[in-house]
Amino acid sequence: MHPETIRVPLASSGLEVEDIDAVVTTLKSNSLTMGQKVREFESSMSRYLGARHFVMMNSGSSANLAIIESLLRPTSGIPRLRRGDGVLVPAIAWPTTIWPIVQLGLKPVFIDVDPESASLDLNAAEELLSQDSHGVRAIFPIHPLGWAMSPTGLEDFCRRHSLVLISDVCEALGSWRENVHAGLSSLASSFSFYFSHHITTMEGGGVATNDDALADDLRSIRSHGWSRDRSDAKSWLSHGNDINSKFLFVSTGYNVRPMELQAALGLGQISRIDNYINTRRQIASRVHEAITNTALHLMGSNTLRNDPQSHSWMLLPIRTKSTVSALKIVEHLESVGIETRPILTGNFTAQPSIRRILGEDLDAKSFINANLISSQCFMVGCHHHFTEGQITHLVESLRYAARNLGDVS
């Protein structure tokens, strides 16, 4: 086959026949709304992550929303956050990491990113807080594209600044650093199982936490504020009211419940996740070898030798040398069937939506590394179901582009 006829998409469905069979069986069982399959998937996820609880939801975005809601309006104890508090977030971000903070009356405080991983740069955060606290009470880092931030680094930072640590792990399932799954040293961490991620439930996501009370609140919040799915549901009945126990609402809430079909689809995949991640690491290694010492660099490739477990490669982020036109490389790759995209949204502070909300107070140009990542970097796919033909085409096309295309100096 001529290489130009091979397409290398950013993502594939990743479904096996048995996953589809599991969905059909679930459909035929007539059990459609949240129930036994969701509970089974939650147990599998808890076991895999080493978390006490996993609360499945209908997306990673909903997981982020539910986390923020749970910190503002817990059913017991003092709220960990209050309206107006600042939350540190990375300048390279996904919109729905930021929007729940804005929507629920908190203030995102953007921090530039580390140029190699695109994750929130704790040194830059340290510098900002040394000048002014900005009312910051929490930090919400993203573990981008499979790269696990150091749990001890994050914990130490939060201890010194008395911050609540929550993590967006929507892109880093299967990534472990210092023997802890990415984000799991946080009070709560969000996951996404959207189509393009390490496993897919079509749409889907959830929150991992080791905090029993928080897990109960998340179960209420995902389902209208209902008491039903809480471990302490019975204790709410003794609150001296005569409300029907089946219709007892104990917190604020949304409807962000998952369906049984989604859980049925995820169950098989989570049992195969280690193979998936190994395949992704092998693809990353081959791409890294092909472009080492050229005009292109695989961001995060130092982990391949030093700490392979700490990266699960959702996609492959590639930086072009400053003397090379990223645009020219991207155009070439697209012309030979290799799909590309920016790193997340690029510098999120430059997006019109965030500028409209935070106005001129925010100088997008001041996030120097985020801007470099916007202008000099792009991503290609790294899916565990790529065929050998697709992987070879990806590797060879990148090798060709890295060695032959456009020095603009």
Closest among 207, 229, 203 to 216, alpha carbons compared = 229
**Single-letter residue type at 277:** I
Q: Is 170 in the site for ligand PLP (CB under 6 A)?
A: yes
Q: Which value, in Å, is the radius of gyration of the alpha carbons in the chain?
A: 22
Q: How far is the CB of 61 from ligand PLP (least distance, A)?
A: 3
Smallest separation (angstroms) from ligand PLP to the CB of 93: 7
Cα–Cα distances (Å) from 330 to 163, 182, 335, 350, 357, in that order, read: 40, 30, 8, 21, 32
From residue 226 to residue 265, the character string flagging contacts with ligand PLP as x (rule: CB under 6 A) and all else as - is ----------------------------------------
**Pure H helices in 257-325:** 260-271, 273-291, 302-306
Q: Give the range of 26-34, 55-63, 286-294, 348-356 binding ligand PLP by CB under 6 A.
A: 55-63
300 near 382, Cβ under 8 Å? Answer: no
The kind and range of the H/E element at 71 are helix 60-72
Instruction: Report CA 64 to chain centroid distance, whole Å.
Output: 10
Q: How far is the CB of 196 from ligand PLP (least distance, A)?
A: 7
Output 51 or 142, the one with its CB closest to ligand PLP. 142
* 350/401 with CB nearer ligand PLP: 350
Taking CB under 6 A as the binding criterion, the range among 32-40, 91-99, 252-260, 295-303 that sits at the site for ligand PLP is: 91-99
Please give the Cα distance from 282 to 175 (Å, whole number): 15
Contact between 187 and 66 under an 8 Å Cβ cutoff? The reply is: no
User: Which member of 94, 276, 348, 378 binds ligand PLP (CB under 6 A)?
Assistant: 94
CB of 119 to ligand PLP, least distance (A): 11
Q: How many other CB atoms sit within 10 Å of the CB of residue 91?
A: 28
Inter-residue contact 401 to 8 (CB < 8 Å): no
Please identify the residue of the shown chain whose CB is closest to the bound ligand PLP: 60
**Residue 166 near ligand PLP by CB under 6 A:** no
Contact call for residues 378 and 329 (beta carbons, < 8 A)? yes
Say if CB 189 and CB 45 are below 8 A apart: no
Q: Work out which of 26, 46, 70, 96 binds ligand PLP, going by CB under 6 A.
A: 96
Residue 71, token pair as written in the block: 């910190």
The correct pick among 75, 97, 119, 251 for binding ligand PLP (CB under 6 A) is: 97
The total number of residues shown for the chain amounts to 409
| Contact window for ligand PLP (CB under 6 A) among 23-31, 168-176, 216-224, 384-392 | 168-176
Task: DSSP letter for 314, please.
Answer: S
Give residue 132's identity as a one-letter amino acid code: D
Give the residue with the Cβ less far from ligand PLP, 144 or 225. Answer: 144
Binding of ligand PLP at residue 142 (CB under 6 A)? yes
**x/- track of binding to ligand PLP for residues 186-225 (CB under 6 A):** ------x-x----------x--------------------
Site residues (vs ligand PLP, CB under 6 A): 59-61, 94, 96-97, 142, 168, 170-171, 192, 194, 205
